Amino acid sequence: MSAPEILERFGRRLRVGFVGGGAGSVIGRTHLLALRADGLAELVAGCLSSDPDRADASARALLLPPERSYPDWRTMIERERDRADGIDVAVIITPPLYHAEIAEGFLAAGMSVLCEKPMTATLAEAEALTKAVESSTGLFAVTHCYTGYPMVREARHLVRSGALGEIRLVEGQFAGGEPSLLREPGDPSTRHWRFRASAMGRASLLGEIGSHVHNIVEYVTGHRVTEVSAHLSTVAARREVYDNAYLTVGFGNGAAGRLWSSFVAAGAEHGLEFRIFGDDGSLHWRQDDPEYLWLLRPGRGMTRVSRGMATTSGFSQAATRIRPGHPEGYLMAFANIYRDCAHAVMRTRLGEDASRELAALPDVRDGLSTMRLLEAAVAAHESGRTVPVGG
Amino acid sequence: MSAPEILERFGRRLRVGFVGGGAGSVIGRTHLLALRADGLAELVAGCLSSDPDRADASARALLLPPERSYPDWRTMIERERDRADGIDVAVIITPPLYHAEIAEGFLAAGMSVLCEKPMTATLAEAEALTKAVESSTGLFAVTHCYTGYPMVREARHLVRSGALGEIRLVEGQFAGGEPSLLREPGDPSTRHWRFRASAMGRASLLGEIGSHVHNIVEYVTGHRVTEVSAHLSTVAARREVYDNAYLTVGFGNGAAGRLWSSFVAAGAEHGLEFRIFGDDGSLHWRQDDPEYLWLLRPGRGMTRVSRGMATTSGFSQAATRIRPGHPEGYLMAFANIYRDCAHAVMRTRLGEDASRELAALPDVRDGLSTMRLLEAAVAAHESGRTVPVGG
Amino acid sequence: MSAPEILERFGRRLRVGFVGGGAGSVIGRTHLLALRADGLAELVAGCLSSDPDRADASARALLLPPERSYPDWRTMIERERDRADGIDVAVIITPPLYHAEIAEGFLAAGMSVLCEKPMTATLAEAEALTKAVESSTGLFAVTHCYTGYPMVREARHLVRSGALGEIRLVEGQFAGGEPSLLREPGDPSTRHWRFRASAMGRASLLGEIGSHVHNIVEYVTGHRVTEVSAHLSTVAARREVYDNAYLTVGFGNGAAGRLWSSFVAAGAEHGLEFRIFGDDGSLHWRQDDPEYLWLLRPGRGMTRVSRGMATTSGFSQAATRIRPGHPEGYLMAFANIYRDCAHAVMRTRLGEDASRELAALPDVRDGLSTMRLLEAAVAAHESGRTVPVGG
Amino acid sequence: MSAPEILERFGRRLRVGFVGGGAGSVIGRTHLLALRADGLAELVAGCLSSDPDRADASARALLLPPERSYPDWRTMIERERDRADGIDVAVIITPPLYHAEIAEGFLAAGMSVLCEKPMTATLAEAEALTKAVESSTGLFAVTHCYTGYPMVREARHLVRSGALGEIRLVEGQFAGGEPSLLREPGDPSTRHWRFRASAMGRASLLGEIGSHVHNIVEYVTGHRVTEVSAHLSTVAARREVYDNAYLTVGFGNGAAGRLWSSFVAAGAEHGLEFRIFGDDGSLHWRQDDPEYLWLLRPGRGMTRVSRGMATTSGFSQAATRIRPGHPEGYLMAFANIYRDCAHAVMRTRLGEDASRELAALPDVRDGLSTMRLLEAAVAAHESGRTVPVGG
């Protein structure tokens, strides 16, 4: 059954509910666009804010039926579970402090869950959630949206198929410094959770963006980070959390690497990129120029890999929608997470094989791996030593 | 009334019908994505192919109600006009030979029309359609999708606000040569309309892509092309139309320029770009790196203009959805045409001012201007002389 | 005999004299650097300015012996011819009005000549000079310095060895607009010859930079321009010559192309580049990023060709001095003209084969070809017609 | 006295002798080109190889007088000191093991010294040499050639004049992986000193290229590295030294940073670059695109800084030779070291102020600083701890 046939066979769009992501939420708007793009799913319910008035206003702006705008996620689970047309998938867009509890609730009700990163606020929660996922029937994925880029997937294909030989060095960074990140807001009460030590400790930077850079290098290489040393620091005045993190890491296959996360790389608008070096060449990818992958092979020049090549893998072609030469951008990368998730849920219910989609999605084990790194990085920083990443 | 409030005030999504664009149509899939992205409109009816079986299969794949999948566009007009929930907007995605007739039909029924480029197959049709639009109550826009890019709009803002001084030189090109364009297909019966002389003569290249490059330089500069000399040629073996067009042009303000359209610029995946030079500097934009605009000012270096600048105009900011640093790509540019169109229709019905949206949309006068250029270019090529662009 | 051995075998440096190029001459300083770089030649005499005081001051600043600083080039020929240690090579760095006469004088005295571009001021002079060269024993080369770039030579190697298949389209441009070119100087008496109609007519732009762009595309492709249509115009206020030239051209093999020369491409610091398209791919080179050549092949991505490739030809490797990764720049490109010239003169005197060096140098036939184009372009502009390029 | 006048006032070229750098030495050829470029100096003597036959063959190929080709550097010092036309400057191009001893010898003879990097093989030698320089009358500079690039100097000017605000993060790397570095040669006896543990221990990588990256960030920022942690490793099979070094460092002003040196960044042809972040923006420079400096300021876009700007500092303009738009490349950067050195020696002898030239040249204190870092980095690696950089 080819991808375009799945919706017709399934006979309806997937029903989705959001927890969080209401009016004013940048990431909420992004999820909405990603959800809509392919016409495979529709938003039918939500608990769009912890503030009930804001939740209701958000629901009205989206033309949601009032009775499916819930004041809290527990009520949402109960009511949606009881409806014949209840949601298939819950999307968790709250701050990380609540992810574990909410995700376990929806999974226990038999629903699938798409969860924002970092997967949880603590390693202990991640371990518990992993068990919950493994004993549930629903699908669980983490929206590490950058893995949705076709060229990130092509990088994974190339690395894993041996195009670079054995992997030796891995450079990952998410080092930005746009104005809103670079300085603390005048009014501390308007701080995003990422700048509150109460959200996930002083190392929230590692959860907010360090999780992406860790995830993407593991996603592409297939190797787990197994040890870490760390230098964490705070640059911005009046900031209560770290805003720069230098990690030097080792990987399971013996490769070495560096992961850099920063909010104070002044002037960089985004800053996610990776470079992966093997015995026979290297690959470079930058999120601000995401349509291309740069392949360097000693003595053979540098090749710009794009979707428009006869050799492009099926794995990355499946993550595209339009012809080469038309940049697809971040929102379609994000939409690929939704599309893979929707197809995986539909295929599974139709009794079809969903292994391609599941292979492409960051799962609970990936989220757990990141939470292990975070804990180890803090320990490494505090001890001034290299620390193994538990597992 | 701010943009996010319009949908809630309007109380429902706009109802849209497609003529053409069914299964297998690349541009049809693109329209679907653009239509869905913002949740402002929904596809509720269609005459998705001139082949009725294909039309129905396409409708089923999209979960359209069977009774709203029409075998011909005339029936579609009749039935939709009679429904209480009939379509608000018709989108014309057929080859250009049929655009004029279909557009006039829907306009006459009081509906709005979004029409693919080139607007018509001939100048005479364009003139007639212009009159039809001007005497109708509906909105009419041409999907010159590249005008939806925020940085194209920023270029327009900068040029028109005098950042470059008087405009002197204008370079536009749409010169690609991906494998499917570079050579004629083995089986001539599988040719796209662009490669059939029967579709709009031997100069169909100018309609298919020359229309974009002409439109974008007029869109950005605000100056019409007023004279043209032309060198048209055919490179690919067994091709019955021109596949390379060099136009040297003059603009209403005295500027000179060149417009190059090609299917045989071997290796270029897309190839749309412009450079605009004034007395005080120049701007460069390329569709394959669309998030950035390059501003060069003599003695002041080159500045990469992006969405993340404090000086970015409201006109281009209104065409964005996510934070700077996250590439939005071609599909969101296309979606901007839909969003502006939806907001303009809704605002108009609500009695609100829609002038911002209307200013941003390529209209029937722009389409007419392009058809005038096409006719003049062919005359220029045939005479070996510079020819005025009628008006 | 390998290149490093030639100097030792020859036993001394070549003796060089300059006509023009004294203090204050930008191009004179450039020649000096190029001459010195490889230690193959030394400046021993000169008539460095038409102003004798300036000539002598220039000579003193260079530590030239006073008796070899000449007040006029005729005296220089006479005296140098009579010295046992007289110059081997004269370098002509005057405005073009004097090139033909001076070159013929040195050639007649048995010396070799390196001549700045444009080769002459008129086509008639170019024809006469061609005959003079062909009946002389000296070497004659035109300092089309950009042909000295290794990657321009690699482009020539690739094109001529068929890497792109048959050549179909050729885009060349030298379109700059730095502050000193963009506007007329306040004091017209300080104008460079390029801005004086008296120097070589109103189309001096074509001589000054149009000659480079014409030469480089013929150098790379091996095809002569055989027809031209032209649009010449003047943008800058108070300017008495054209400052923008759009040429549409045909080549001997049937390829079409465009050559653009401009001083009013505001903001571009230099602006020389070419793109060459064949049936199987294209090559792009820009002088502001000269270390790389971009090779695009449909369906095979874009490859950055550099010196560091196992496949780089001997023809371009011979034009390098240091390891890949260390940019060599414009001055070393210029020095390649000197090096090839010095090696060719030495090899010839030693009775060795100098064909590799001679093949790499723009010669009198190339200069003649450019003067033919210039004459035809002016005729084309004035007639509004396509004009054959005489030959 | 302006730069062009110095030579005329001095009345002759500086006389230079090389120790090392004979035939087959890549760096020797580079020094020769740099020495010749400006006509300020001439090579008149040498001890061009430790192998006397090779030394003599090298001298002959350069047309050196046979009596000034010396079999050992001690003889060279003696004889040149006794000649009326003896050398002014000795250039030391040997492996680092010999630098200190040779440099001290020439300095003691009253000559000036240009010394290749790393300045010495050990910290103890560096300390002794520093004392020798400080008690000598000659000039001493280290050929950290990359500091000769105009845009590196412009970066220094911008950083030191506060364009970025307080410096917070410093990223430097010299991570290449061209074929000759990536693997060990088949025959270990052909190894360059950089791959021999006997040359300067297992951390020779830090001397060979780590010295450049350390020097350049100190040169630009004006801040010394004061602490370091290190992860050194060996990737290539059969290699006896480290070929990858990750250093995490702190600077005197509190900034943090990372310095990466590698021979196994497979596919990178060169790999030197830096990014410097302050409170108000950042600067990025890459040696493979050295004509430009990228200045990013939050909310103000990215500006490509080049020589062609009205704001370019005199400090960097003094390091240029030709007009903006003509890339000057690595060899002219290297030549700037020679030019500054020649001008400084001449000015000093003429009793003029040489402070501008001296400020631009990496001196013995800079070389000492690098040797301190190297020793600390090895200690940090071995202890697994952060180590202060002595001083």
Mean pLDDT by groups of 10 residues along chain C of 391 residues: 86 98 91 97 97 94 96 97 98 96 98 98 97 97 98 98 98 95 86 88 96 98 98 96 98 98 97 98 98 97 94 95 96 98 98 96 98 98 96 62
The model's pLDDT over C15-43, given as tens digits with 9 standing for 90+, comes to 999 999 998 888 999 999 999 999 999 99
From D312's Cα to the closest Cα of chain B, the distance in A is: 9
End-to-end CA distance of chain A, in Å? 38
pLDDT band at D3 (very low <50, low <70, confident <90, very high): confident
Q: Return left, alpha or beta for D39; rule: phi > 0 is left, psi -120 to 50 is alpha, else beta.
A: left
Q: Which residue of D has its CA nearest to C59?
A: D8
Collect all residues with Cβ–Cβ distance below 8 Å to A220 and sequence separation of at least 6: A152, A155, A156, A159, A274, A276
Q: Which residue of B has its CA nearest to D300?
A: B309
Q: Is the dihedral of CA B94, B99, B104, B110 positive or negative?
A: positive
pLDDT band at D193 (very low <50, low <70, confident <90, very high): confident
Q: Is the dihedral of CA C148, C149, C154, C159 positive or negative?
A: negative
DSSP calls for A289-318: STT-EEEE-TTS-EEEE-TT-TT--HHHHT
Q: Does C30 touch chain D (CB under 8 A)?
A: yes
pLDDT band at B121 (very low <50, low <70, confident <90, very high): very high
Tokens standing for residue D106: 């020439």
Give the whole-number percent of chain B exceeding pLDDT 70. Answer: 99
Residues B172-196, mean pLDDT to the nearest whole number = 89
Asked if the Cβ–Cβ distance from B305 to D303 is below 8 Å, we say no
Q: Residues D266, A276: contact at Cβ < 8 Å? A: no
pLDDT (0 to 100) of residue A187:
84
Could you tell me how many CB contacts below 8 A there are between chain C and chain D? 136
Interface of B with C in 174-193 (CB under 8 A): 177-179, 182
From B29's Cα to the closest Cα of chain A, the distance in A is: 8
Collect all residues with Cβ–Cβ distance below 8 Å to D387 and sequence separation of at least 6: D227, D228, D229, D376, D377, D379, D380
Tokens standing for residue A75: 């009520």
Tokens standing for residue D129: 């040499």
Asked if the Cβ–Cβ distance from B329 to A324 is below 8 Å, we say no
Tokens standing for residue B137: 């109550």
Question: Tokens 């850099």 appear where?
Answer: A260
Q: How far is B158 from D339, CA to CA, in rounded Å?
A: 44
Beta-bridged to residue B305, according to DSSP, are B293
Nearest Cβ partner for B332 among A36, A62, A329: A329
pLDDT (0 to 100) of residue A333:
98
Asked if the Cβ–Cβ distance from D168 to A235 is below 8 Å, we say yes
Structure letter (DSSP) for residue C63: T
The DSSP element (H or E) to which D48 belongs, if any, is none
pLDDT (0 to 100) of residue C391:
62
Q: Where are the alpha helices (DSSP H) in chain B?
A: 3-10, 26-36, 52-61, 73-82, 99-108, 123-134, 150-160, 179-182, 197-200, 204-205, 211-221, 314-317, 329-349, 355-360, 364-383
Neighbours of D24 (CB within 10 A): 12
Asked if the Cβ–Cβ distance from C278 to B256 is below 8 Å, we say no
Q: Are strands C244-251 and C225-233 parallel, antiparallel or unpaired?
A: antiparallel
pLDDT (0 to 100) of residue B190:
82
Tokens standing for residue B361: 């949309």
pLDDT (0 to 100) of residue B23:
85
Q: Does A271 touch chain B (CB under 8 A)?
A: yes
Q: Residues C201, C255: contact at Cβ < 8 Å? A: no
Beta-bridged to residue B171, according to DSSP, are B258, B275
CB-side neighbour CA atoms (13 Å) of B54: 12
Instruction: Give the 3-state secondary structure of residue B192.
Output: coil
Neighbours of C145 (CB within 10 A): 24
Q: Which residue of C has its CA nearest to A305?
A: C301
Asked if the Cβ–Cβ distance from B178 to A324 is below 8 Å, we say yes
Q: Are strands C167-175 and C272-278 parallel, antiparallel or unpaired?
A: antiparallel
pLDDT (0 to 100) of residue C2:
76
Pick from D59, D267, D275, D271: nearest CA to D155:
D275
The model's pLDDT over D231-281, given as tens digits with 9 standing for 90+, comes to 999 999 999 999 999 999 999 999 999 999 999 999 999 999 999 999 999
Asked if the Cβ–Cβ distance from D37 to C331 is below 8 Å, we say yes
User: Phi and psi (nearest 5°) for A112?
Assistant: -90, 160
Residue A76, judged by CB atoms within 10 A of its CB (0-12, 13-18, 19+), counts as buried
Tokens standing for residue A216: 């993407």
pLDDT (0 to 100) of residue B391:
62
Tokens standing for residue B21: 């664009």
Asked if the Cβ–Cβ distance from C299 to A308 is below 8 Å, we say yes
Neighbours of D165 (CB within 10 A): 13
Q: Which of C292, C295, C303 to mutate to test the interface with A (most CBs of A within 10 A)?
A: C303
pLDDT (0 to 100) of residue A260:
98
* Beta-strand runs (E) in C59-189: 89-92, 112-115, 140-142, 167-175
pLDDT (0 to 100) of residue C105:
98
Q: Which of C246, C260, C275 to mutate to test the interface with B (most CBs of B within 10 A)?
A: C246
Q: How far is B365 from B71, CA to CA, in rounded Å?
A: 31
pLDDT (0 to 100) of residue D192:
86
Q: How far is D57 from D63, CA to CA, in rounded Å?
A: 10
- Which chains contact D through at least 3 pairs of Cβ atoms less than 8 Å apart? A, B, C
From D315's Cα to the closest Cα of chain B, the distance in A is: 17
- Which chains contact A through at least 3 pairs of Cβ atoms less than 8 Å apart? B, C, D
Contacts of D278 in chain A (CB under 8 A): 266
Residues C288-309 as b or e (16 or more Cβ within 10 Å = b): bbbbbbbbbbbbbbbbbbbbbb
Nearest Cβ partner for D302 among B300, B304, B310: B304
Instruction: Give the 3-state secondary structure of residue A55.
Output: helix
Q: How far is C278 from C164, CA to CA, in rounded Å?
A: 5
Least confident of B166-175, B205-214, C176-185, C333-342: C176-185
Neighbours of A167 (CB within 10 A): 25
What are the CA-CA distances from residue C109 to residues A294, A391, C90, C106, C136 (Å)?
56, 86, 11, 5, 9
Q: Write the ipTM.
A: 0.96
From B19's Cα to the closest Cα of chain A, the distance in A is: 19
Asked if the Cβ–Cβ distance from A305 to C301 is below 8 Å, we say yes
Q: How far is D265 from A338, CA to CA, in rounded Å?
A: 36
Q: Give me chain B's average pLDDT, please.
A: 96
Tokens standing for residue B303: 């500045």
- Which chains contact B through at least 3 pairs of Cβ atoms less than 8 Å apart? A, C, D
The model's pLDDT over D344-358, given as tens digits with 9 standing for 90+, comes to 999 999 999 999 999
Q: How far is A176 from A178, CA to CA, in rounded Å?
A: 6
Question: Tokens 């490859």 appear where?
Answer: C303
Tokens standing for residue C100: 């033909």
Q: Residues A372, A364: contact at Cβ < 8 Å? A: no
pLDDT (0 to 100) of residue C185:
82
Q: Cis omega (within 30 of 0) on the bond before A118? A: yes
Q: Which residue of C has its CA nearest to B384?
A: C385
Pick from D192, D208, D203: nearest CA to D228:
D203
pLDDT (0 to 100) of residue A391:
62
Q: What is the pLDDT along chain A (391 residues), one digit of tens a residue?
A: 677 799 999 999 999 999 999 988 889 999 999 999 999 999 999 999 999 999 999 999 999 999 999 999 999 999 999 999 999 999 999 999 999 999 999 999 999 999 999 999 999 999 999 999 999 999 999 999 999 999 999 999 999 999 999 999 999 999 999 998 999 988 878 888 889 998 889 999 999 999 999 999 999 999 999 999 999 999 999 999 999 999 999 999 999 999 999 999 999 999 999 999 999 999 999 999 999 999 999 999 999 999 989 999 999 999 999 999 999 999 999 999 999 999 999 999 999 999 999 999 999 999 999 999 999 999 999 999 999 998 6
* Nearest-5° Cα angle at A24, A149 to B360: 70
Neighbours of D141 (CB within 10 A): 26
The model's pLDDT over B262-305, given as tens digits with 9 standing for 90+, comes to 999 999 999 999 999 999 999 999 999 999 999 999 999 999 99
